[in-house]
Amino acid sequence: MIRGNDPILLTPGPLTTSLRTKQAMLNDWGSWDAAFNAITASLRRDLVDIVGGGDEYTCVPLQGSGTFSVEAAIGTVVPRDGKVLVPNNGAYCARIVKICRYLGRAVVDLPVPEDQPATGAIVEAALAADPGITHVAQVHCETGAGVLNELSSIAQVCARRGKGLIVDAMSSFAAIPIDVATVPFDALVAASGKCLEGVPGMGFVIVRKAVLEARAGNAHSLAMDLHDQYVYMEKTTQWRYTPPTHVVAALRTAVDQFKEEGGQPARLARYARNCETLVGGMAELGFRTFLSPAVQAPIIVTFHAPADPAYQFKSFYERTRERGYILYPGKLTQVETFRVGCIGAIDANEMRNVVSAVAQTLHDMGIRQVAPASPRKAA
C-alpha cells in the first residue's frame, strides 16, 4: 500500500499515509483562491456525510492538532455556566477534564477503570446524581489503553435526559460506525491525521447547526470560536485565518481514497484484520494484551511489557525502528506497557512483518520471558 524509505508508523496518528496522499502535498495553493475554497467546501460536505448528518449538521474545520478542535468545541458549545461530565478511563479523557478547568467550565471527573468501557448506565447514574450537569464529553476510543467506550448507549441517555453530548472521535471517526440517527450528538471532534489517513494539521468539529447558531459570542477565544469560523466560511467560502493548505489538499485526496476503498465499513474491516493479525502473532511470541477482546478497539493495542530483566523499552523501540517500524510507548500508570497501532495505509501483511521484526528484536536483546510477571490489572 505504501513504499519508500520511511519507517511504518504504528501509532494512533500521525500514521503512515499512501503515496497518493503524500503527492497531494506537492502543489501550492492560495488560501483565497476559488479552487482551494472548493476543496474546503467539498471536505465539509463529505465529512458530515460520513455520520449521516444531512442538513442538520455542519462541519467546521480548524487549524492545528485535534486537541485544538476539542478545546474549540468545549469552549464554543458549552455555556460559560454549564457543567461537563467526563467519564474518565484514560489520558485523553483526562485531557478534556484539564481543558474544562482551563476554560473555567465546571467539570465532573468521573473515574472509570482503564481496562473498562464507559457505559450508558455509568453516565445515567452520574446524571441522576447531579442534575446540574448540562453536557457529557465522551472519548469514543480511548487510545491510552485502546478501549472502545459505549458511545451509542451514552448518546441515548444524553438524548433522553436532554443533555448535550460532545464526542471526541479522534481515533474512531471514519473507522468505527457513528450515525446521528442512532448516536445523536451536539458536536463530534476528529482530525485529518487519524483514520481518514491524511496528515496532521487540521481538526474539525461536526456540530448541530441549531446548537452552533445559539452560541454566538460564547467562545473564550477568537481563534477557536467555531461559531465565528462557521459564519465566515458560510459567507465567504474562505477560512478566517491562514489555512493549512497542503494538509487540506492531502485530506481531500485521502477522503477520495476512503470512498474508493468502500468507506467506513471497508476501513473498519481492514483495521480489524490488522488488529487480529497483530494480536494473534504477538500472542505466539508470548505477549499478552492489557485489554480483553470484548473492549479492544481495532485502533491501537496495548501490550504488557516483557518481565525479562533484559527488556528496556528504549532499546526495544530503537531496535524495532531499525527494522522499519515505529512503536508507541505505554500510556498507563500502574503497569508497564507499550502500544502498537493498527491504523494507517497498512494491511495485514504489514502486521505480520511487524511481528517478525519484534521477534527478531527479542532475540537480539536476549529476552526469554516475554509474558508479564503479574496478572493483568486495571490502573
Q: From first to last of its 379 residues, what are the pLDDT tens digits of the chain?
A: 444 578 999 998 899 999 999 999 999 999 999 999 999 999 999 999 999 999 999 999 999 999 999 999 999 999 999 999 999 999 999 999 999 999 999 999 999 999 999 999 999 999 999 999 999 999 999 999 999 999 999 999 999 999 999 999 999 999 999 999 999 999 999 999 999 999 999 999 999 999 999 999 999 999 999 999 999 999 999 999 999 999 999 999 999 999 999 999 999 999 999 999 999 999 999 999 999 999 999 999 999 999 999 999 999 999 999 999 999 998 876 789 999 999 999 999 999 999 999 999 999 999 999 998 765 444 4
Q: Kindly report the CATH class assigned to 263-365.
A: alpha beta
> In 140-168, which positions are buried (b, 16+ CB within 10 angstroms) versus exposed (e)?
bbbbbbbbbbbbebbbbbbeeeebbbbbb
Instruction: Give me the architecture of the 19-260 domain, per CATH.
Output: 3-Layer(aba) Sandwich (3.40)
Q: Measure the CA–CA gap between 315 and 321, rounded to whole angstroms.
A: 10
Q: Measure the CA–CA gap between 125 and 12, rounded to whole angstroms.
A: 31
Inter-residue contact 204 to 59 (CB < 8 Å): yes
pTM of the entire predicted model: 0.95
pLDDT digits (tens, 9 = 90+) for 190-222: 999 999 999 999 999 999 999 999 999 999 999
Inter-residue contact 76 to 226 (CB < 8 Å): yes
Inter-residue contact 357 to 117 (CB < 8 Å): no
For residue 208, the cross-strand partners are 57
Q: Measure the CA–CA gap between 308 and 246, rounded to whole angstroms.
A: 45
Q: Measure the CA–CA gap between 86 and 240, rounded to whole angstroms.
A: 31
In the chain, residues under CATH classification 3.90.1150.10 are 263-365
In the chain, residues under CATH classification 3.40.640.10 are 19-260
Identify how many contiguous H helices and E strands the chain contains and give both numbers: 12, 14
